[in-house]
Structure formats: structure tokens, C-alpha cells
Amino acid sequence: MNDAFDILFNWPDSFDHGPAADDAFLKAMQTAFTHHYRDSEIYRNICEHAGFSISDLESIVDLPRIPWLLVDVFKWYHLTSVPEDQIVITFTSSGTTGQKSHTAWDQGSFDRQTAMRRRIMESYRLVDPHPVNYICFSYDQQTASHRGAAYAHSAYTTFAPAHEIFFAIHPGPGGEPAFDADECLDVLRRFEHQSYPLRITGFPAFAWRTLKAIETDGRPLHFAPESLVIHGGGWKTMADEAVTPDVYATAVEKWLGIPPSRVRDIYGFVEHGVPYVTCERGSFHVPVFSRIFVRKPGTLDLLPEGETGLLHAVAPYNWAQPALSIVSTDYVQLQSGCPCCRKGQTMKLLGRAGVRKHQGCALTAAELLDRTKTVQKAGATVGAK
């Protein structure tokens, strides 16, 4: 579509920050901002109210001045900068209150988001040409619908050829989404006796429930050290079972034989679309495809590295919606100097300001886990009588 986009989204190393990457990012942001300013009347009105126009985006230091939208805007408004017939996919995330975020992509936005994810995985050397078995602790195609997290989890089953993929959340006897940790354990036992490495994706709470089932069984499983765990989505209503990344990685190594350096976390939200993946040292690195700022709650003043505030994410990839500058309700800190020695900043996630997760797919999954737990407790009570 545009030379500026082609240069940025074909950047060879996703963490090769520096003047050249800054220049490529700025040019892509100028292209995206000009488009949304001209073709989204609502966003243009917001910009005019803020006193910011196309000529004001001149250098990399102007990025935080780009008028932002609060992430909740996409729950209440369907904002687009292209004709509806150019939109090829819409992801809807719905929470328990019924509010829905609508994230729309045209074909170019879809392709750029796909390219970002692959470049990041390649830069971490997590793409492998050899077949693996996958267990995806997320929704299969019949139950996923257009849930954003389910799409992302499935996408991480594309970075090594699949010998087999098992989706842990699939239709139950009545067609409703169902999850059974013992069923997942049986699948893992079967995979253990095959010659393929294992890759695990999806919600960590489901994987943790399965690790606890292995612990109850008492026999550790053993998979090739090149196996990989890459998960995201948080713990949601299962916060009482949540563990730290170190505890989680230790359990994975103990019960599956996969080393901690091969246990990775993904952070993202559908309204922003850029995936953030931890390195082998557990840090969320900011790729060249986005920039992160931190804002003080209340005043929204910019905060320096090391101080805690609201996440302000900037990225040019989405041509279909004016989602190029988003303030979320996540608390973060920015840091530098990761021991892995990659360039650029890292994010430290410190919780959520709001009481509900915006990515409703994850909320729905957590409610399923909560329901599973309730059923298991009821069964135990019946069995005890």
C-alpha cells in the first residue's frame, strides 16, 4: 500500500531499535495519522479539539502528542476510516456486562498484524521448520467465533508445522464450550509417546489446571527441550489460583520437562493489536512496530521510566480504524537494560485499573473455568455422601 508501511513492517529484527527504526516508525505514523485525520470525521474532530493536525507530527518526540482514544471508546462506538465494504474481519470482545469492543481490519491491516507477529517470533528464534504437537488451551473454531484472544492463540500454532492440534475448549455434550483437565492430561500422555516436540498455547489458567492434574497423578511427563509454552490472557476470575511467572515456569519444567527459557508470555489487547512477547529472561520487549508511553492517572501527564502509570500505546498498522493512539486501563512501568541485551525498552505489567478485562474472550474463558471448578466441587460433595 505504501512505502513507509512496507519498510517498517518488513523490518528484519523486531528489536533493532535506533535512529533508522525511529525514522521508519515516524514515517509510517505520519502516513497512518494523515489517513485517519482525513477519512474519519469523528477522529478529525477530536484532533481539532485537541489542537493537533497533520503538520504537528514532525518528529519522533511528537508521538505522545497524537490525540489518543481511551480503550473503552471501542466498546461504545464503531469507528472506521474506510468504507464498510473494505473491512474483511471484525473481532468482538464482550464482557459479562454486555459491552463489546469492535476491532475492524481491512486486508492490509490484517496482513500487517500477521507480519508483526511473525517478525517478533522470528526475532526471538521461536519459528521452527520441524513438526510439533500442539495443545491449545483456548477455543476451537466451532466455539471461537470472532473472539480476539482465540484468534491470537490459534495464530501461535502456525510457527512450527502441526503434526496434531488439540483445542482444550471445544463443544460439550450440549454444544456449550467445555473444558476437562483430565482429558488434556490424556492428550499430553499420548503426545509424550510420540517423537514430536510439544507446543502449548492459550490461557495460562487452563494450562495451570492441567499441570495440577499431572501433579495429582504424580507422574511427570517428559517432552523435548525444544518444546515451547507461549500463553496469554491472564487469570481473570481465577485470581485465587494465579501464580507468578517464575512459579509457573518451575511447574512447567517439573511436570513437562520444558526449561523456563522456553516458557513465554504474551500481552496484548484487541483494540491495539500489537503482540508483546517475553524474552528468555521474562521481559516484555517493545518491538519496532509500536511505541509505549506511561501516563499519570488523573492528569495523564507523561511519566519517566521506572514510574507507574497507565499504558499509552501508539502503532500505525490499523488502516481501518483510528486506533493509532490508545490509552488503556493497564498499569505499567517502562524499563531499559534487559539482561538479554536486546535494544529498546521493556514493559513491566502491574495490574489493571478497571475491575473488568476488556478482552472479553478471556473473561468468558475464566467464567468457564469457574463453572468447571464449581461442577468439580459439586461432584466431590456428591461422591462424599
> Where does CATH 3.40.50.12780 sit in the chain?
3-86+286-352
Please determine, for residue 198, whether its predicted confidence score (pLDDT) is greater than 90.
Answer: yes
Please determine, for residue 108, whether its predicted confidence score (pLDDT) is greater than 80.
Answer: yes
Please determine, for residue 221, whether its predicted confidence score (pLDDT) is greater than 60.
Answer: yes
- Taking the C-alpha atoms of residue 87 and residue 85, their distance in angstroms, rounded to an integer, is 6
Give the tens place of pLDDT for each residue, 324-364.
999 998 999 999 999 999 999 999 998 776 544 434 444 44
Q: What is the pLDDT of residue 368?
A: 47
Task: Report percent pLDDT > 70 for the chain.
Answer: 83
Q: What is the pLDDT of residue 37?
A: 97
Q: Averaged over 197-223, what is the pLDDT?
A: 93
- Taking the C-alpha atoms of residue 311 and residue 217, their distance in angstroms, rounded to an integer, is 42
- Taking the C-alpha atoms of residue 329 and residue 310, their distance in angstroms, rounded to an integer, is 6
Q: Are 267 and 331 spatial neighbours (Cβ–Cβ below 8 Å)?
A: no
Q: Does domain 3-86+286-352 match CATH 3.40.50.12780?
A: yes
Mean pLDDT, the chain, integer: 86
Give the tens place of pLDDT for each residue, 47-80.
999 999 999 999 999 999 999 999 888 878 888 9
Q: What is the pLDDT of residue 31?
A: 97
Beta strands in 140-298 (DSSP E): 162-171, 177-178, 198-202, 228-232, 263-267, 276-277, 284-285, 291-295
Q: Averaged over 121-135, what is the pLDDT?
A: 97
pTM for the model: 0.86
State which H helix or E strand residue 7 sits in.
Answer: helix 3-9
Give the tens place of pLDDT for each residue, 266-320.
998 888 889 999 999 999 999 999 999 999 998 999 999 999 999 999 999 999 9
Q: What is the pLDDT of residue 255?
A: 96
Query: Out of 3.30.70, 1.25.40, 2.10.240, 3.40.50, which CATH number does the structure's domain 124-269+364-384 have?
Result: 3.40.50
